[in-house]
Amino acid sequence: MATLILVRHGRSTANTAGLLAGWTPGVALDERGAEQAAALPGRLAAVPLAAAVTSPLQRCKETLAPLLAARPELALHTDDRIGECHYGDWSNRKLSELSDEPLMKIVQQHPSAAAFPGGESMRAMQARAVDAVREWNARIEEEHGSDAVFLMCSHGDIIKSLVADALGMHLDLFQRIHVDPCSVTAVRYTPTRPFLLRLGDTGDFGSLAPRPAPAPDAAADTRTFESATEDGGNAVVGGGAGAA
C-alpha cells in the first residue's frame, strides 16, 4: 500500500506560550515555525507526492503553504479527523496549570481511560485518526498505485497515536513517543503490517544536547520535551514546543 508522510505543524504561538491550543481559532506559526515551514519544500524535494491532506487548523495550513507554493500541481485535501484532539474545557489553558489537575495523571499513565471535560476521549482521538489514514491509504493506492507517497499535516498527539497504532502499541504507551514541530514521520503500509520508516525526523540533532536550566520565572510555561522528561518523566500534552 501507499507510504504516508506525517508532518507535525511548525512551532506555534501556543507552543511557545505554554498553552494547550486544541481547536482554539487563530493559533498561528511563530517566527521559528514559519522558518521550519519554509524549509519543508527543500527537505521533501526528492519525494514525489501524490496528494497532501491537512488538519483544518490554521497552524497546519500555514505549515504546508510553502510546500504548496513550490508544488502548485499538488492536490490539497482537508480532513477534520486528523485535526487536534478536542481538549474541551482544557483548551487554551496553560500547561503549567493543567499539570495540577487530577486528570493529568490519567492522561500521562493511562491515556486510554482519559476523556477531556467537554471534549473527547483519547481513544476516540486515535480511532478517528486511524480511520482517516486507512481510508486515505486505500484511496491513494487506488488512484496512484501501491508505490505512491502522500502527506498528512497534523498535530503532536494525533501523530503519536498513529505511530502507536502502526507499531501495534497500546494507546497507554503512546506518551513514550515524541515528535518535534515540523518533524517528518513516515509509515509504509502493507497488506499484512505497517513499517515505521522515520520517526520525528527534523534533520537536526541539536535538540538532543543538554540544555541550560531555564530561568525560574519562565520554566513552568515554556517547558520543552527535554525539561518535561526530567520532571517526573511526563510527556507534554499537545506535543510541546520541542526544539527552539
User: What is the pLDDT, as a whole number, of residue 226?
Assistant: 37
Cell of 17: 506560550
User: What is the pLDDT, as a whole number, of residue 124?
Assistant: 98
Measured distance CA(203)–CA(47) in Å, rounded: 15
Percent of the chain's residues with pLDDT above 90: 82
What's the mean pLDDT in 118-147? 97
User: What is the pLDDT, as a whole number, of residue 209?
Assistant: 74
Q: For the segment 220-231, what is each residue's pLDDT rounded down to a tens digit?
A: 443 333 334 445
User: What is the pLDDT, as a whole number, of residue 242?
Assistant: 61
User: What is the pLDDT, as a whole number, of residue 172?
Assistant: 98
Spell out a b/e string for 213-242, using b for 16 or more CB atoms within 10 Å of the CB, else e. eeeeeeebebbbbbbbeeeeebbbbbbbbb
Residue 150 φ/ψ region, left for φ over 0, alpha for ψ in the -120 to 50 degree band, beta for the rest = beta
Can you list the alpha helix ranges (DSSP code H) found in 82-220?
Answer: 95-98, 102-109, 122-144, 156-166
User: What is the pLDDT, as a whole number, of residue 235?
Assistant: 83
Taking 60 as the threshold, does the pLDDT of residue 244 lie above it?
Answer: no
**Please, which residues have CB within 8 angstroms of residue 193's CB and are 6 or more apart in sequence?**
none
User: What is the pLDDT, as a whole number, of residue 220?
Assistant: 41
User: What is the pLDDT, as a whole number, of residue 216?
Assistant: 59
Taking 50 as the threshold, does the pLDDT of residue 52 lie above it?
Answer: yes
Taking 60 as the threshold, does the pLDDT of residue 6 lie above it?
Answer: yes
- Say if CB 157 and CB 125 are below 8 A apart: yes
Q: Which of the 8 DSSP states describes residue 54?
A: E
What's the mean pLDDT in 163-173? 98
Taking 90 as the threshold, does the pLDDT of residue 202 lie above it?
Answer: yes
Reported pTM: 0.89
Q: For the segment 61-74, what is each residue's pLDDT rounded down to a tens digit?
A: 999 999 999 999 99
